[in-house]
Chains A and B, each alone.
Chain A
Amino acid sequence: MSGAPALSVSGLSRSFGGLTAVRNVALDVQPGERRALIGPNGAGKTTLFNIIAGEIPPSEGRVTLFGRDVTRLAPHRRTALGLARTFQVNTLFPSLTVLENLLLAVHGVERTRLHLHRPLAAYGDLCDRARSVLDRVGLSGGEERTVRTLSHGEQRQLEVGMALASSPRLLLLDEPMAGLSRAEAQRFTSLLQELDPAMSLLMIEHDMDVVFGVAERITVLHHGQVVADGTRDEVRRSPLVAEIYLGTG
């Protein structure tokens, strides 16, 4: 570990016209840390993710990844640094097969992504890596299926598998459990618990069983601002969080 946080965000704001979606947010994720980002709908969680991933620039503030200032860096360059993310709504390649989807993810962080002279099957180790993800997210045996024929749950599994396939150092999960059944969510929770301990995880999730089961630290966002930040027990006990997030005011 270099000592630098995997992710550090400071003074981050973003307005869309008159609406300030994210307001002066500061947030650190240390190497190996599991952190959840919670808050009611419209709190600015996904906007914050999009800024961290580089899809939208912040109005103000700074983002650093592994000690490097990436505030102005393009999304694909952040991925090359070791960032991976999933999307709230499945963002896959519907007419490609499951294996082809994962191969795109595996090649995306390798120089081979620009190779145009050898067939995909010639990259044996990368194919193996893609197939190993298949087993981890519970899609083994389905590699030749076209993604649009998968169920929502299976697509959700692939959505997470795509992010894992690049062996990231920092993983951003945007509501990975959305639309999953109870059993699927439980299976997924254990998958998340078994992830490489050196990897950092920042996860938006509404399912509190998952949040408390996976995350050590929790950041609460409300109206674009950080209103609480602490260990899961601190946050669980915080009356303020209960009031604004759980609505028991």
Chain B
Amino acid sequence: MADRSDTAAGSGVRSEPWARRLRAGAIVAGVALLAAPPVLPGYALTLLTQILIYAIFAMSLDLLLGYTGLASLGHAAYFGLGAYAVGILSTGHQASFWTCLGAALLLATAVAAVFGLVAIRALGVYFLMITLALGMVVWGLAFRWVSLTMGDNGIAGIARPSLVPGLSLSDPLRFYYLALAAFVLSFAILLRLVRSPFGLSLRGIRETERRMRALGYDVWLHKYLAFVLSGAFAGLAGALWAYYDGFVSPVEVHLVTSVETLLMVAVGGPGTLVGPVVGAAVLVLSKNLLSLYTKRWLLVLGLVYIGVIVLAPKGIVGALRGERR
């Protein structure tokens, strides 16, 4: 994470104190993420890996939710498609890591490209409903198409991949570095994207679609491209998750997964790239650590969520930047 950390400003012209603090924080975090894992206990490494994968997923959703202003309730579909592509190809066909990864990206992108044609026409709450419905279609397939997906039982025994023959990632530490590399790459690409003219156009669409049309933008096209790109990154996260967990089931494509990811974005700070990362960390940590102490960890999480909405509607990162409005 040597890249300068964007937090929504995006034009890349500003350099305010919080931006410098954040950049410093990102460098410290980057060094820590690179150097600390070899001395971390196994459990901590597991959590860090989970956070990195979910961070990619949450950032992909934020491209829609925070930047473009499109609240999708079916984003787990693309995550799940990526995961299932890996599960099916690696167990049934012993496909290599790169084949599985390519197939996962292709499948998630292609399905997002088709679903986008249906969904992008809808506005506001109708977009929410349509993405929910499309997400349920994928969930239904995962659940019912037993010959391919093993239905409710899920696909077990997905082995950790080898990057090249001989370089196995079965060691958790090596797999962690794969997840870190994928995260840094995704962050860098998305950072470049949100700071580009296209990225600014998404924020314009979020604010005032009508003006965007008058300024010459094909609003549908920009939303559609954002939707497809977002699906691709969700697919990448799903592929990594399948390898990480070794197991894929309809839970991966379930509404609950979509909602959890929305929570990550909302808690961390929508419309920023750092926000979803922070949100992913908060959710993964509270899910795993709180559940050690209480079965009611969801209740605690709910309270945290309400607290964030009331006290910091722009999420944790928004609050740190002093945007409490």
Contacts and interface: CB of A to CB of B under 8 A. Distances in A.
B126 interface: no
Contacts of B197: 103, 107, 112-116, 118, 120, 123
A136 B200 CA distance: 23
B199 A113 contact: no
B84 to A, nearest CB: 28
Contacts, number: 119
B216 A166 contact: yes
A105 interface: yes
A109 interface: yes
A91 B209 CA distance: 10
B147 interface: no
B294 interface: no
Contact of B12 (A74, A79, A84, A119): A119
B196 A104 contact: no
A236 interface: no
Contacts of B217: 76, 104, 108, 113
Given A104-B201, A121-B12, A162-B215, A115 B196 contact: yes
Interface string A58-87: 000000000000000011100110001101
Contacts of B219: 76
A76 B196 contact: no
Given A100-B11, A121-B13, A144-B14, A76 B218 contact: yes
A137 B196 CA distance: 26
A231 interface: no
Contact of A119 (B192, B201, B203, B222): B192
A182 interface: no
Interface in A113-153: 113-121, 123, 144
Given A93-B203, A93-B204, A100-B11, A116 B193 contact: yes
Interface residues of A, number: 39
Nearest to A111: B197
B21 interface: no
A41 interface: no
A97 interface: yes
A87 B209 CA distance: 13
B213 A107 contact: no
A87 B214 CA distance: 10
Nearest to B198: A116
B216 A79 contact: yes
B214 A85 contact: yes
B113 interface: no
B202 to A, nearest CB: 10
Interface string B1-40: 0000000001111100000000000000000000000000
18 contacts: A55-B210, A76-B215, A79-B214, A96-B200, A97-B11, A113-B217, A114-B197, A114-B198, A114-B222, A116-B197, A116-B198, A116-B225, A117-B193, A118-B197, A119-B12, A119-B196, A123-B197, A166-B216
